[in-house]
Structure 1
């Protein structure tokens, strides 16, 4: 709750109406931008009322509104939880957003070459019953074939990179422990660490001295690193982090979800598991190279650690969908990453050119990889701007979501993955919102 309350306070002032309506809107904002994810438990009415200086009745009314609109559900004797639902952007305001730049997930599978498939083949699994705990052997072999570190160990298929990070957090971390993270860093990882009860400590991971000092001061239980940075799109060189973690015997969670997406002739960053082979959990996903809706990810780890992670997965998820895994294997064999990476580079160049034309006051570093641009708004609050952009019909992710202590208030993460026509529409909406703010 200590991380949630400051975020809610920031967003309360962005909404109008009664106190309960403002609180409901603030919660919806956090859900729409990823700071709250499906399955997260909200604080109790009494706890949240005390923390925000509101009456318990106001908080109860806000929770009732959220439940009525499908964003939350009450579980008897347990509390109020965020639910999987339709696009959350318009749940409280009623708005329909035609353009979404808040997420870096590839928006549609239109770039894929679909192989000829007999539907019956998708309904088969090696075991026959479909409960293959580690995943489909064919898919595991395909995912491990291009990575020596993965091929040398085992591959566990998951329901996407987010589940992989969550499983690593639940296995490696205990309540009250600390995990070192970059700043900014992936908002979904921060949410997973928060759910595990751990405290994320922001560190400049590119600075060896800062990392060494953080190890000495915080004695972390784990370190989370991102190969191709999300949200900045920078290519990280973090050998020193892996070496320090190996020397200290600290587990490393390396998120390589965006590693295949590098541009301008660059090579993907070297897997850090080669430097810390006995303590690295490597996370990957097909969401960015195939389709976000496929929900197939994976992780690799040393044998003993992988066995522990698999046990944690089996506690709540007996097996990843066999149908999704068979389809993923077929798509992987028919869709090399090269053409899609080339297309994404074109979309990036077109998007940043449109930003420079319509919003010349903004600044950013041209991303070398990934799916997003990390934009700085001069003299402006990103949270407030995100609310104005939503009113203009475009969803954006404010920079404060990507830091454990809500830094980067003058930044936004903007995805350049949408088709050009959608991106052009979104930039026009951003320009309108910026004119209103200024």
Structure 2
């Protein structure tokens, strides 16, 4: 099994070590579940004992005992010289065996709550009071509605509100240039389905939002990193990209904000090479200086720049309302594609979103004030308890990008998990699996909980750094 496949197995294990009992039993139980669910299909080679032990930051004996138990239960076959493979099993007709990829961050959403403090999923866990009021106003509109409710492009009230939002930001927009989606994730999925064919090259920044990487991979694209400085843009045409994806404002995971000159260069690049460019503005309203920069589309000379956004970060992740702003012909094609998938979004939520956009400035101001305070607190705690870790303070958003002084973040994440904190390693944010010495931390928790999380991370780091030599990803823990 190659290194990438070993990483895939580790990603699918999720929070395997967060239960009670010996580690080998916890590991065996999680592997057995993955095998029984068809995520690890029959015949798949599993990582060698030493390799998996190194990835999980456990002793080799833990992996050997887990594999031996799985062999006794008929889930794996172990042979001297040929390693360990998933055994052939009698499968229910409905069981999937296609080895579906799962983003490790999404696995934490799918995993049931287990007392682990999650620094993985960067989304607000408490809706603002304005949300309930917006829904109450939306429900008041229902008695007078005379509509089937199937609106693939979106509810007219929300389309008008989103168009007005962009006009207020200096980007003239009509309702024909907007389509409402079930969050920004569906926006990405629709665009990839329409614009990307198997084998196409998609360029992204690195690090970048891992959900986008997974969408493009699901479309069978080749995802490659690019830089948005002048040398990087000059080299990009050699990749012959079909699509470019960027997060210019409050970038996930670094929290950086792209300057106006770089936005102009990106827009000019898209126009010159006639390449669609997706700018993800999900966190655009969360800049700590209180200003929301102009979208890249505001600098565009043509129709190549496509803007996506949602209310999941500024308001609440449970409000699954997002949108795409693009040329009217592209929006029309997207609406037809959307109709095939689900006939359109839920109407009451869209009416509530229209009401929320009218109050967005007040919501944004309160949210940024909270985020900035929690960001500063997290940075102070890291400097106090983990002074060897390095990071740049964020300019906005919800996350910071931390570099470890040694070791490999994936292995450290396993140790952190056993100390009650789940953190995402850097390779999840890199299309080529790089940034192995980085991890992302969010600052969405109250300050007391952030302090507890940092102290747990500090304890995990002492355990990890005390037993691990300064290492590459191939260092083994035995």
TM-score greater than 0.5 by the shorter chain: yes
1: CA distance, partners of 2:2 / 2:192: 19
Say whether 1:303 aligns with 2:324.
no
2: CA distance, partners of 1:23 / 1:227: 38
**How far is the alpha carbon of 1:21 from its aligned partner?**
3.4
Show CA shifts across 1:387-421 (max 9, x none). Answer: 11111112211111000111111111111122223
| Aligned equivalent of 2:425, options 398, 402, 408 | 398
Say whether 1:202 aligns with 2:202.
no
Show CA shifts across 1:12-42 (max 9, x none). Answer: 99986489838839979xxxxxxxxxxxx95
CA root-mean-square deviation: 3.8
Point out the more displaced range, 278-287 or 189-198. 278-287
**How far is the alpha carbon of 1:176 from its aligned partner?**
0.3
Show CA shifts across 1:103-126 (max 9, x none). Answer: 221121146464272674365696
Show CA shifts across 1:224-260 (max 9, x none). Answer: 0112211001112332122112111111111111111
2: CA distance, partners of 1:394 / 1:232: 20
TM-score by length of 2: 0.76
State the partner residue of 1:33.
none
TM-score by length of 1: 0.82
State the partner residue of 2:119.
101
**How far is the alpha carbon of 1:57 from its aligned partner?**
5.3
State the partner residue of 1:38.
none
State the partner residue of 2:133.
115
Residues 374 and 414 of structure 1 are in contact (CA less than 8 Å); yes or no, is this contact kept in structure 2?
yes
| Aligned equivalent of 2:338, options 313, 322, 333 | 313
State the partner residue of 2:390.
363
| Aligned equivalent of 2:152, options 105, 125, 133 | 133
Question: Which ranges in structure 1 are unaligned for 5 or more consecutive residues?
Answer: 29-40, 68-72
* 1:222-301 aligned within 5 A: 222-228=243-249, 229-236=251-258, 237-272=262-297, 274-301=299-326
Question: Which ranges in structure 2 are unaligned for 5 or more consecutive residues?
Answer: 18-22, 50-66, 77-84, 466-478
**How far is the alpha carbon of 1:221 from its aligned partner?**
0.5
Residues 124 and 322 of structure 1 are in contact (CA less than 8 Å); yes or no, is this contact kept in structure 2?
no
State the partner residue of 2:166.
147
Residues 95 and 391 of structure 1 are in contact (CA less than 8 Å); yes or no, is this contact kept in structure 2?
no
Residues 185 and 231 of structure 1 are in contact (CA less than 8 Å); yes or no, is this contact kept in structure 2?
yes
Structure whose alpha-carbon radius of gyration is higher: 2
**How far is the alpha carbon of 1:290 from its aligned partner?**
0.7
Say whether 1:344 aligns with 2:365.
no
State the partner residue of 1:31.
none
Provide the aligned length of Structure 1 versus Structure 2. Answer: 414
**How far is the alpha carbon of 1:380 from its aligned partner?**
2.1
